[in-house]
């Protein structure tokens, strides 16, 4: 059963992409009414690619032309997640994908019906500066997001000993030391250097932003991947427009 889950994770590992790679870019637009569109470009760095390829070889999946990440399979997995209208991702290389994710309402994104704790809270009002989005990533919201996108990813990240999945208290240094011991210092260095770059446009000029910077209608964020994997402290982002 575990081996089957690891195999499945290799084809639907959007979260692994975002959390364990070092190159990720998200450009998005939030529209009036809360609908949103995200354009994603992301790729695995060499050491992370080598780890996945090693697992594929161990499982007997040695096809040289087979992509490490299957854009079509990831699209199918993500399309079933709450709040998502459509997902269209394609491979631009064996270790890279890009494409578009459209969201019905940003406040419902990855939020299961009846669940109290939200990853994103959305408020819309006509007066300037009175609309807002608050994003909270902590040890309550993060595991539910991961399992909702793909339960198999949870198993895979467990194999990578990510504290966000295991629910263990761990500092950034402790986690990097553990990665270094198991997978080698070069991969730990990749994770330590990795960042997610996000640029989001809003219907009106941004009046304030927490956790990033703003210029006109656009808010910019740079999120260290290590902070997400460990969640030593909650990550909170707020935009008002």
Three-class SS string for 152-207?
A: HHHHHHHHCCCHHHHCCCCCHHHHHHHHHHHHCHHHHHHHHHCEEEEEEECCCCCC
Q: Which two tokens stand for residue 107?
A: 């406040």
pLDDT for 173: 94
Residue pair 108/82 in contact (Cβ under 8 Å)? The answer is: yes
Mean of pLDDT values over 156-178 = 82
In sign, the C-alpha dihedral spanning 17, 225, 115, 40 is negative
pLDDT for 157: 66
Please check the confidence at residue 21 and state whether its pLDDT lies above 60.
Answer: no
Task: Report the SS3 class of residue 107.
Answer: helix
Mean of pLDDT values over 28-33 = 94
Most confident of 50-59, 61-70, 130-139, 184-193: 130-139
Please check the confidence at residue 18 and state whether its pLDDT lies above 50.
Answer: no
Lowest mean pLDDT among 30-39, 50-59, 113-122, 212-221: 50-59
Tally of structural domains, the chain? 1
Going by the DSSP 8-state scheme, the letter that residue 211 receives in this structure is S
- Closest Cα partner for 226 from 155, 159, 178? 178
- Closest Cα partner for 228 from 21, 53, 34? 21
DSSP notation for 47-106: HHHHHHHHHHHHTT---TTS-SS-HHHHHHHHHTSTTEEEEEEEEEETTEEEEEEEES-G
More confident residue, 2 or 204: 204
pLDDT digits (tens, 9 = 90+) for 127-138: 999 999 999 988
Please check the confidence at residue 37 and state whether its pLDDT lies above 90.
Answer: yes
Mean of pLDDT values over 121-130 = 92
Mean of pLDDT values over 158-177 = 83
Mean of pLDDT values over 30-48 = 84
Domain that holds residue 206: 2-240
- Closest Cα partner for 107 from 123, 117, 85, 122? 122
As a whole number, the mean pLDDT across the chain is: 79
Mean of pLDDT values over 95-101 = 87
Residue pair 167/174 in contact (Cβ under 8 Å)? The answer is: no
Please check the confidence at residue 15 and state whether its pLDDT lies above 70.
Answer: no
């Amino acid at each position: 059963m575990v081996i089957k889950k690891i195999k499945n994770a290799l084809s639907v590992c959007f979260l692994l992409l975002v959390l364990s790679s070092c190159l990720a870019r998200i450009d998005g637009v939030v529209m009036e009414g809360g609908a949103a569109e995200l354009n994603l470009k992301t790729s695995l760095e060499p050491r992370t690619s080598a780890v996945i390829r090693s697992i594929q070889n161990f499982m007997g999946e040695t096809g040289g032309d087979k992509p490490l990440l299957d854009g079509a399979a990831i699209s199918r997995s993500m399309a079933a997640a709450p709040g998502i209208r459509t997902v269209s991702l394609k491979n631009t290389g064996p270790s890279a994908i890009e494409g578009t994710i459209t969201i019905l309402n940003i406040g419902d994104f990855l939020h299961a019906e009846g669940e109290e704790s939200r990853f994103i809270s959305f408020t819309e009002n006509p007066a300037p500066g009175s609309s807002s989005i608050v994003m909270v990533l902590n040890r309550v919201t993060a595991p539910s997001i991961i399992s909702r996108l793909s339960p198999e990813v949870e198993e895979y990240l467990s194999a990578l000993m990510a504290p966000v999945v295991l629910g263990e208290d761990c500092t950034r240094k402790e986690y990097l030391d553990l990665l270094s011991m198991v997978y080698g210092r070069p991969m730990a260095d990749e994770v330590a250097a990795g960042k997610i770059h996000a640029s989001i446009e809003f219907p009106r000029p941004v009046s304030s932003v927490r956790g990033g910077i703003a210029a006109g209608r656009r808010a910019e964020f740079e999120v260290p991947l290590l902070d997400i994997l460990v969640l030593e402290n909650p990550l909170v982002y707020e935009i008002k427009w």
